[in-house]
Chain A
Amino acid sequence: MTKTTWKNLTAGLALGAAAVLGSVTGAKAEDTIKVGILHSLSGTMAISETTLKDVMLMLIDEQNKKGGLLGKKLEAVVVDPASNWPLFAEKAKELLEVQKVAAVFGCWTSVSRKSVLPVFEQDNGILFYPVQYEGEESQRNVFYTGAAPNQQAIPAVDYLMANEKVERWVLAGTDYVYPRTTNKILEAYLKAKGVKPEDIMINYTPFGHSDWQTIVADIKKFGSAGKKTAVVSTINGDANVPFYKELGNQGIKATDIPVVAFSVGEEELAGLDTAPLVGHLAAWNYFMSIDTPENKAFIDQWHAFIKNDKRTSNDPMEAHYIGFNMWVKAVEKAGTTDPDAVIDALIGVSVPNLTGGYSTMMPNHHITKPVLIGEIMDDGQFDTVWKTAGLVPGDAWSDFLEGSKDLISDWRKPMSCGNFNVVTGKCGGAGE
């Protein structure tokens, strides 16, 4: 609690500095297409978002080497919202109204996305959002290239049920909207599968929680009831390292109580000695260790661009790769960067992903992806142990939540609605 307000305060003071930074990359020649990059380069989220900015610069650079787009060069406009949620809205406004960018790639946390939504609606911009999120949203101006809960959480639980015969569940998460919504969906899903309420333990911790002794001991206790137990972790960012260290130190092995995480990727494991964690799981739509020619080319290109061959690649990076290529293809199809034309052209666009298949933009502005389950290896990478047979289309509205299971989203004409209620037959959500 104290820490979040603290972070906000910090970010607030960084506002001034960021405003100066943002306006440096000003107008250039008129014959360029501007692409906005809205990722925090300072403050708490810099740890995750800086990498995404670099990937976008690389992709734009690459596209320019191929001759640009519609005969024009692309120009990156980088702004720094400094992990400050209201500043995200201001910076988005600056990108759309002052810089007049054709599309924006950005945001990480759900709250930053929610903060820019009204801006994109009002100024009719295009936002590509690359991070796995809690769903329950579909907006005309936003394209969600990260996973919806049915592309990550549900398949992971299915895997544990089928392959590890798990009967008892610990849902552990950081106390904010993504874990709370995901856990609500998972709880409903587990109960629908016949799991008894006493076999589900839900635990929330503050941001940046660092003392995990009690909770890990509780998990151990919960796991000693004679039924196979697993932990489903939606613990966010920084809190993961001390959590996994405590797991390792208290001797909880993946063969006894496996932990499947939705927010731990290669980047987070980089700060850890993974030897005691071998076998713990993560569910994503991409792993750096995926053995495909596309992925190899992408990683080589990334290492060359960042001039460091130790850097990892991760799932949100792949999401930007897919999103950017989709946007390029849609602009070529539409022959213009006009937002309305591009938004319509994006639906149905299909581009190669890095796991050896094609991802398609659905009418609900989510994409199709494979779901992979990986086990942590001792070199800090994931080994894919399971993969969905085909591609899973992202579902904006969960089928397991009251109020949202009747909703569908289809932005094609004539429906053009993000929350169409199939029971009442009206656009406008669960309300009458």
Chain B
Amino acid sequence: MSELWSLFLTAAFVDNMPLTLFLGLCTFLALSKRPEAALGLGVAMTGVLGVTVPLNFLIYQSFLAPGAWAWAGMPELDLSYLALIAFIGVIAASVQLLEMVLDRFFPSVHAAFGVFLPLLTVQCAILAGSLFMVERSYSLAQSVVFGLGSGVGFAVAVAMLAAIRTRLAYSDLPAGLRGLGIAFVLAGLMSLGFASFAQMAATQ
């Protein structure tokens, strides 16, 4: 149990998706102007990552991994190069499904962050979650925890950046630095902060 907990903390803070691994930066920067939108995005990310990583784990293990077709008399078959297309398909389908379920049963939640859901299909952080799961050969339980942890880490980071950017409204920045430029510098400073979590993990 404590092993899973430490995997969760690692995924959320030490290997923070946007700040340490540079994943999902497009949405991270584009949707961090308002804290409410940022929080909605964070929740949607956590939900989608928590569902797609384990789902992709099952699909990879049962169809694509080397030797997965051994029961059908084809132990040589290695379909792992198809992983990319399969993962993207699963992600697109689950995002669509999630959107339909939310629309049907939780219309208020759907209205709150409906706009971001379709965007998540082409979010690098979500695809990367599944690719990392294969590269680091996680088990089913680990992949659930890893997906949720990465989502929470993303949510924390994007909410923090949005909060800082709102405060920036009152600062007198040089014209060229306004908007994107200062967002990068802020993300860099936050990334420095998150680097200290790596030290924490090392000393534990």
A binds B: no
Q: Which residues of A contact B (CB under 8 A)?
A: none
